[in-house]
Structure 1
Amino acid sequence: MAQEYGWNKSDSGTVMSCFFWGYAITQVIAGSIADTHGGEKILAFTTLIWTTLTFFTPQLFDFAYWSGFPLPILLLVRIATGIGQGFHLPAMASMVSRHLTAADKGRVFGISLAGSHFGSVVAGAIGSVLLEWFGWRSLFQFVGIISFIWYLFFKRLKEETTLRRRNAVTDSSCTLPLINGKKKEPENLFTDHKNSTTAVPWGQLFRHPAFWAASCAQYCGANAYFTMFSWLPSYFSDNFPNAKGVVYNVVPSLAIVVTSLMAPFLASRLLANGKSVTFTRRFMEGSSLVAMSFCLIIVSMSSGSFYMSLFIFTMAMAGRGFHHGGVSVNPHDFAPNHTGSVFGIFNAFSAMTGFIGVYVAGWILQATGNNWAYVFLFASFQCVFGAIIYSLFGTGNKII
């Protein structure tokens, strides 16, 4: 895209980062809206928005340059896509919280989050082939098509589930006893409409040190992850120009899929063995942050072969996957009745690294003449800081 439209690195960074402007801002309100109106309704509608924008991004970008006002339209398209996708994870968190038992919430939500990493594997593998054979436009259209198929499946599943619930409530009302000549109202067996939660006591949440400890760990871990996710292609291209992009675009992301699926079950095993929720969350998150920090330090001090660098970064990304048994599911612990709202705030800390941490990494490279060691050491030190803070103040107990 940069070659076709004549962007420099500053232009490319602006277009890439503005997605996170809309994404991060939306997180603050997305969870509250999902908790109030139902995550199923929000998820279906907003998915259709970002799916449509993704599919037509090539045409919208061409229109932007045809109009003579390219920058405002480019930014608007990417910000709108970020806004639409910003509702996705908070809506999922709200749905999981309302429809599952306390024992299942963390495990199911952790598995669901692994799907986002699997998407990176698909985009890295199939996308690399599409880019080589058909150009960058085909990648947007491919993602738009498979996302629309998912939207149709989810919409049909939602309609069938709603119908089954209504039939179940109708059947149960037929067997209810008469009270004073009137049939007793059926209990709300299924939550399908507005959530019955009260206003979120934000003051109580924000005054609790565990919330800020978890937010700190969330930011530090996400900074390392997004730094690797965004800059590894450039790192391998600069240092190993003959390496196959399909390899380093897929292997690290595949590792995080595996550990993301493992993490919820490891956390459940710790809990089943008598460990407290607080110990489990601290252990899983600490393991994730320390593993990433160690790998980033090693790679910054070595000048090994391509396969050694690939192995180290794969281990670093694998370490990130254990996060899904730690801070990632903390909102279910903190606020079982306000999970979507709290998760939205949490995820905003992650999203901020998309336009802060990634930009800082680029600034370091520019200032140091492409010295990658400083980038990875900076991310590593943040991971250590996050691990210390969360180990001291993190909790798995209910706050609100």
Structure 2
Amino acid sequence: MARHSADAHLPAANADQRPFNPAISTTARATTVRWRIFAIIFLLTMVNLIDRVSLSIAMPTIANEFSLSPSMQGLILSSFFWAYALLQVPGGWLIDRYGPRRVITWSTGLWGTFQVLAGLATGGASMLFARVALGAAEAPLFPSGGKLISLWLAPSERSRGAVMMDSGSPLGVALGGLIIAYLIATLDSWRLAFVIAGVATLALAWVAHRYLRDDPALHPQVNAQELEKINAGRATPAAEAAREQVKGLGIAGRSLAGLLIGRSSWAMVYFGLLTWGPSYLAQARGFDIKGIGAATFAIFICGALGSLAGGFLCDGLIRKGVRRGLAVKGLLTFSGLVALCALLLLPTLSNPFGAVGLLAMTAFFLMWGSLYWSFPALLAAPSRVGLIGGVMNLAGSVGGIFVPILVGVILQFFGGFGAVLAFFAICAALFVMATLFISLDGKREVSDV
């Protein structure tokens, strides 16, 4: 059965859904609706991570209130990823079937609701349930962004689109650490902080529904010149190509293996720092709640800047004639090696502010990993981009599931963070090796995998 976008089911009389007619456009300069689309996706991913990181920031307080052991803390921090991981592939299928606009709207509304409900938790079990539900609701967001990259951006712009989307992640952690810590300290209530974050998320669901479109030609503000830019280098317009069916996953097995292992290894480092970073700052470096918020902000704001720098640098290198495979994999390899060296050096630093500075540098280069979100559109058949994005995010989510538990076990067994940092360094090395296994040169590799 042929796939139809969510917009195709709406009445033709709706002015927002009238097909765009290039013949009636008289604007000489191309509009920039595509970048406004990704500004909204950037905002959504930022708030997504604010909601997600709120528990990590509040965990020292919640652990005292609920008398949680380190292992139970790790279990709760991991629980978000259980449903998040399980729904990646079904979520990717829904995105390809119904379109990212509809999926993003429902996803955002539901996760805002569950964030509010997390503020009503009465113990470890109820908090665990709220986090599982939050993970289920947030699952489709990043694969939806990957699908929008395919639909709205020409290949020459996809690195920038990928990092615009994913840079919202570390910025959300940075702002989330600062905002949630401030709200907890000011209101003397982690519960109110959770509720405020959830209500803000609900407002964004309305914004997404109002502005996003699955087909650039159906957006009332896109003119002929921008549509030409979007479809540059395509034999078939993106929305039409996305309806063509292919066998299997529509991606070569070698690249799929590298994609999954690389994303999972990267996620082990990123989500390890995200979930246990505040506890590391408190226990190993002696920061209080406000200090944790400020340090988390500094570390992850550098991550956001690094994400943007990596994407713009990558597209810049390609415009200057560097082969895409060399540009992307070269930048990712360099970022992984920097993270590896920094994580091995961190235990040797005695100054807590020096440690924060090194972690900030690590985050800057580690977040060049945002370039991974350009891979689904570059490697997969157009009708499988959402699914491959979901499969890739599933691999990252598996890393997110295991790393909080593994860190909790390592801490309980070794009694310190030195072994934890060594584990993160091993993950960074695996990230580098897997990335080199992905093939980005020549034509898109499509197989019956």
TM-score of the pair, normalised by structure 1: 0.85
Distance change (3 Å), C-alpha of 1:189 and 1:307: closer
Distance 1:11 1:122 in 2: 26
1:293-312 mapped onto 2 (5 Å cutoff): 293-300=340-347, 302-312=348-358
| 2:146–2:162 CA contact under 8 A, matched in 1 | yes
| 2:174–2:301 CA contact under 8 A, matched in 1 | yes
2:211 counterpart residue number: 157
2:158 counterpart residue number: 105
What is the aligned length?
A: 367
Distance 2:376 2:239 in 1: 20
Distance 1:278 1:190 in 2: 22
Question: Secondary structure of 2:167's partner?
Answer: helix
| 1:115–1:257 CA contact under 8 A, matched in 2 | yes
Distance change (3 Å), C-alpha of 1:328 and 1:109: closer
1:395 counterpart residue number: 439
Residue type of the alignment partner of 1:360:
L
- Match for residue 8 of structure 1 among 69, 74, 92: 69
Q: Give structure 2 stretches of 5+ with no counterpart.
A: 1-61, 223-235
- Match for residue 232 of structure 1 among 270, 274, 277: 277
Task: Give a deviation string over 1:18-63, Cα, whole Å, max 9, x none.
Answer: 110010111122112101110111110111111111122222x24x
1:48 counterpart residue number: 109
1:265 counterpart residue number: 312
- Match for residue 413 of structure 2 among 345, 364, 367: 367
Q: Does 1:221 align with 2:266?
A: yes
Distance 1:163 1:387 in 2: 36
Coordinate RMSD, CA, aligned: 2.6
Distance 2:80 2:260 in 1: 21
Distance change (3 Å), C-alpha of 1:287 and 1:168: closer
Distance change (3 Å), C-alpha of 1:237 and 1:167: closer
Deviation at 1:330, TM superposition (A): 1.4
Deviation at 1:231, TM superposition (A): 1.7
1:327-338 mapped onto 2 (5 Å cutoff): 327-337=372-382, 338=384
| 2:71–2:409 CA contact under 8 A, matched in 1 | no
Residue type of the alignment partner of 1:130:
L
- Match for residue 89 of structure 1 among 128, 136, 142: 142
| 2:118–2:127 CA contact under 8 A, matched in 1 | no
- Match for residue 197 of structure 2 among 124, 127, 143: 143
Q: Give structure 1 stretches of 5+ with no counterpart.
A: 170-187
Residue type of the alignment partner of 1:321:
M
- Match for residue 376 of structure 1 among 421, 441, 445: 421
Distance change (3 Å), C-alpha of 1:245 and 1:166: closer
Q: Which has the larger radius of gyration?
A: 1
Distance change (3 Å), C-alpha of 1:264 and 1:213: same
Task: Give a deviation string over 1:341-367, Cα, whole Å, max 9, x none.
Answer: 111111111111222122112211111
Q: Does 1:133 align with 2:186?
A: yes
Distance 1:335 1:163 in 2: 20
Deviation at 1:195, TM superposition (A): 4.5
Task: Give a deviation string over 1:336-392, Cα, whole Å, max 9, x none.
Answer: 51211111111111111222122112211111122x22111121122123313432x
Question: Secondary structure of 2:321's partner?
Answer: coil
1:283 counterpart residue number: 330
Deviation at 1:105, TM superposition (A): 2.5
Q: Does 1:313 align with 2:359?
A: yes
2:168 counterpart residue number: 115
Distance 2:88 2:101 in 1: 17
Identity %: 19
Distance change (3 Å), C-alpha of 1:374 and 1:23: same
2:369 counterpart residue number: 323
Distance 1:399 1:343 in 2: 16
Residue type of the alignment partner of 2:138:
Q
Task: Give a deviation string over 1:321-340, Cα, whole Å, max 9, x none.
Answer: 21123x33211211151211
Deviation at 1:252, TM superposition (A): 0.5
Task: Give a deviation string over 1:207-265, Cα, whole Å, max 9, x none.
Answer: 62222122222121111111112222112212332552222221101100101111111
Distance 1:211 1:120 in 2: 29
Distance 2:266 2:96 in 1: 26
Deviation at 1:296, TM superposition (A): 0.2
